Structure 1
Amino acid sequence: MDLDPDLAALRPLGGFFVLRTTGGAEGAPAGSLPTLAETYGAVRSDVYGDSIIFRVDTVAHRLRTPELRVSASITQQGLAARLWSAALGCAALYGRVPDLNPAALRWDAGAAAPDDLWLTEVRPLPGYADALAATVLEGHLEPLGVALRARYGIAAGLLRGNAGSALAGAARELDRWARANGRTDVAHRARALTAELFAHPLLRTTGTLTGTAFRRRSCCLYYRVPGGGICGDCCFARAPHSSPRASSG
């Protein structure tokens, strides 16, 4: 099935999968929104200033955490979940992936979760695992990780663990939807693509994938958020007790 201008097949899957497009019925976003290429390159925006710093500060305020390293981790995982969901959803439903070049994606750094993304052009690419890896891992999450490590000193292993966790979560939701709606073909494609992606050098050491279940080898630090706890795929059986400067990952 060819990609349509609205990527309408993603809508029934929920907010993390939906990708707004400037060629679709909803129209274009404000021209002041930065692209993700600008974000990763720390290009300053007249509206948001440095959008990574703005987003991390915004997430910290919403989570009521004074630790910017924690909100940086949650920020990265949220964006990873959006990118994996849109890419994997398209690959499983359409058999194609839209070109998610960072220069073609506009990002509203002030939006509530899930992250608000606009794609300026729907250009189809093959829906293979290597295309997804090149698009999401190499095109987005690696440059984002470089920016976050430079600003917040967050561990590379933690960020890659977040990437693995976000991929597994997207695959699990897609599998659940596909089976509930009699689309076993979509479920099978999603599982096969996910297994191939976890063989990628940047993901294969992040955790253990068993079917749609995932157990990561690092922690996203959510337990350090006031009132937070451990996630379902966490490496910890219970939240550790540590000083505010302790790290994991």
Structure 2
Amino acid sequence: MDLDPGLAALRPLGGFFVLRTAGKAPRPLPTLAQAYGEPPSTEHGDPLVSRIRKVADALRAPEERIAASVAQLGLAARLWSVTLGCAALYGTIPDLDPRLLRWDPEGSAPDDLWLTEVHPRRADPAGVGAAVLHGHLEPLHAALTARYRVATGLLWGNAGSALAGAARQLDGWARADGRTDAADRARALTAELFTHPLLAGTGTFTGNAFRRHSCCLYYRVPGGGVCGDCCFTRAPRSSPRAPSG
């Protein structure tokens, strides 16, 4: 199936999978390239700082690096969901160049994204890896590591967790809808992506189950706990800095 301009096949999946491609944003928005950039200042201020402050305020996070981790996890989940969804349902993915994706750092979760142009790109593991891992997550991780001192092992663990979560949700929807072909494509693609050097050490992926080797630090926010795929089975009690690699 060819990509349609509105990526309509993603709409039934909702939430993290839908990508806006039409209509105007409520106000001028930065691109993700501007959010990742160095120096980060643009006519939109600093989008990455704005997002992390918003997340920190919402969570009452005691440290900025915790908010940085949670913000990165949410954006990674959006990028993986859109890409896996398109690969499974269309057999191709749109060009997700960060210069083509506009982002609302003040929006609610899931992150609101607008793709300004829809151009098809290949949906094999190399193409998906180039789009998400190299096109987005590497520059995002570099910015967060430099500016918030978030450990790279934590961030790649988040990336693996987000990929597994997107794959699990897509698999459930596709099988419930009788789209076993899409479910099989998504599962095969996800398994191959987890062999990529950037993801291979992030955790153990079996079927649709994932157990990561790091912690996203969510347990450190007031009322937080450990996630279902965390390396911890219960929240650590007394460590000023959690293992992050």
Fold-level similarity (TM above 0.5): yes
Aligned to 1:103: 99
- Cα deviations by residue, 1:135-163 (Å, 9 ceiling, x for unpaired): 00000001000000001111001000000
Aligned to 1:61: 57
Residue aligned with 1:209, SS: strand
The residue type paired with residue 43 of structure 2 is: D
- Measured after TM superposition, the shift of residue 246 of structure 1 is 4.3
- Measured after TM superposition, the shift of residue 127 of structure 1 is 1.2
Is 1:46 paired with 2:68?
A: no
The residue type paired with residue 51 of structure 1 is: P
The residue type paired with residue 42 of structure 2 is: S
Is 1:230 paired with 2:233?
A: no
Q: Give the Cα separation in 1 of the matches to 2:70 and 2:230.
A: 14
- Measured after TM superposition, the shift of residue 45 of structure 1 is 3.2
- Measured after TM superposition, the shift of residue 196 of structure 1 is 0.5
Residue aligned with 2:103, SS: strand
Q: Give the Cα separation in 2 of the matches to 1:246 and 1:168.
A: 22
Aligned to 1:137: 133
- 2:177 equivalent among 177, 181, 191: 181
Is the contact made by 1:9 and 1:93 (CA closer than 8 Å) also made in structure 2?
A: yes
**TM value normalised by structure 1:** 0.95
Is the contact made by 1:73 and 1:220 (CA closer than 8 Å) also made in structure 2?
A: yes
Q: Percent identity?
A: 69
Q: CA RMSD in A?
A: 1.1
Is the contact made by 1:32 and 1:46 (CA closer than 8 Å) also made in structure 2?
A: no
Q: Give the Cα separation in 1 of the matches to 2:67 and 2:5.
A: 34
Alignment gaps of 5+ in structure 1: none
Equivalent runs, 1:142-181 vs 2, <5 Å: 142-181=138-177
Is the contact made by 2:170 and 2:186 (CA closer than 8 Å) also made in structure 1?
A: yes
- Cα deviations by residue, 1:57-90 (Å, 9 ceiling, x for unpaired): 1100000112101000000000000000000000
The residue type paired with residue 190 of structure 1 is: A
- Measured after TM superposition, the shift of residue 241 of structure 1 is 1.5
Aligned to 1:217: 213
Q: How many residues align?
A: 244
Alignment gaps of 5+ in structure 2: none
The residue type paired with residue 147 of structure 1 is: A
The residue type paired with residue 185 of structure 1 is: D
Is 1:94 paired with 2:72?
A: no
- Cα deviations by residue, 1:94-152 (Å, 9 ceiling, x for unpaired): 00000000000000000000000000000000111111100000000010000000011
Q: Give the Cα separation in 2 of the matches to 1:171 and 1:53.
A: 29
The residue type paired with residue 224 of structure 2 is: G
Residue aligned with 2:196, SS: coil
Residue aligned with 2:17, SS: coil
- Cα deviations by residue, 1:159-207 (Å, 9 ceiling, x for unpaired): 0000000000000000000011000001100000000000000000000
- Measured after TM superposition, the shift of residue 242 of structure 1 is 2.7
Aligned to 1:80: 76
Aligned to 2:18: 18
Is the contact made by 1:88 and 1:170 (CA closer than 8 Å) also made in structure 2?
A: yes
Is the contact made by 2:153 and 2:244 (CA closer than 8 Å) also made in structure 1?
A: no
- Measured after TM superposition, the shift of residue 46 of structure 1 is 3.2
Residue aligned with 2:192, SS: helix
